[in-house]
A and B are shown apart, each in its own frame.
Chain A
């Protein structure tokens, strides 16, 4: 078993014993199972999954850091929301707004990058919310 902790500045979202953890790192998706080597990565905006028994939980996160040491998985992320907590309408509105803004901005503006991040977050939320369990 892995002991998983998903921590945001707001609260500790998950603290549990789980079987598998999967998330999107800087260089692509990775999966952690018991016995994994010591591992450190940055997390991208996207989905975090973990499986406990037959149950899989999906979370959407807006990036952070992941550390694996001796079957302890610690994810320090800026935000993490369980699929059932996500407000899909709000995410959709955020997505539309970001798309509209992106069209009006030029590529080299600072806001472009921010809007792009906002769009990615919204897309991640919608993606995860569709996996409601």
Chain B
């Protein structure tokens, strides 16, 4: 019940930013299309990819089914599969649960954010700046973003996507804009904005998914509980009946024995 009302609130938050995030993604896709890779450092694919960063977004609190485990597993499996190909696979974490899970498995954690009360622009700007810095300084050659996408209240999907360098989505069409200032300059402001919007949106989407996951987990728990109560009541009644029958047989047997004398 609590999660249901939280979910409703989170969903309105998500809807507010969805338009902006989607349009921003489309616009960025169209603008970076056919752009020479050297136009912006965040566009260029590095020749040698040795160090990979995974940004994993989860939550602080549990009791929400496989929500955190699924995101953590995505990162863990990736690290295990690609372990021989890269020099370093590190993880940038949101949420205590994921930190605990991956920490126990001795994964390389660059930073973890826990106890994030509210996702706001300041937080997102800090995170975006940090991730861009990690990439530009050469600390990492590629960044993946992993979070839970909110499809509906009963369906959430774990996303594990390449994030930086930015790729042109395949369905984008090339548009020959007249642009002021030059396209290469616009890209300079557009891309950081796109990255922070994407992070913002992923965080909000992840939060919404968390509430939805918790809601169904709790609902399942309640219905499982009901089933168990029904089963246990049955067992209890059987046992009780058995006890009574045994006692009665004792008494009847005793009486019979006495009468037989």
Contact = CB atoms under 8 A, between A and B. Distances in A.
A69 interface: yes
B175 A9 contact: no
B178 A38 contact: yes
A11 B31 CA distance: 23
Interface string A6-31: 01111110000000000001110010
Interface stretch (B17-25, B55-63, B83-91): B17-25
Contacts of B200: 9
A41 B186 CA distance: 7
B20 A8 contact: yes
Interface in B8-32: 16-17, 19-21, 23-24, 27, 30-31
A111 interface: no
A39 B179 CA distance: 6
A26 B185 CA distance: 11
Interface residues of A, number: 22
A114 B224 CA distance: 56
Nearest to A36: B178
Contacts of B43: none
A9 B189 CA distance: 17
B177 A76 contact: no
B177 A38 contact: yes
A67 B190 CA distance: 12
Contacts of A11: 16, 19
B17 A26 contact: no
B186 A40 contact: yes
Contacts of A37: 178
B197 A9 contact: yes
A7 B17 CA distance: 9
Given A37-B178, A65-B186, A10 B16 contact: yes
Nearest to B204: A9
Interface in A42-86: 42, 65, 67, 69, 74, 76
Interface of B: 16-17, 19-21, 23-24, 27, 30-31, 121, 175-181, 183, 186, 189-190, 193, 197, 200
Given A40-B186, A65-B189, A74-B27, 18 more contacts: A7-B20, A9-B16, A9-B17, A9-B121, A11-B19, A26-B181, A27-B180, A27-B181, A39-B180, A40-B183, A41-B186, A42-B181, A65-B190, A65-B193, A67-B30, A67-B177, A76-B24, A76-B27
The 6 tightest CB contacts between A and B, nearest first, are: A40-B177, A40-B179, A27-B180, A41-B180, A9-B20, A7-B20
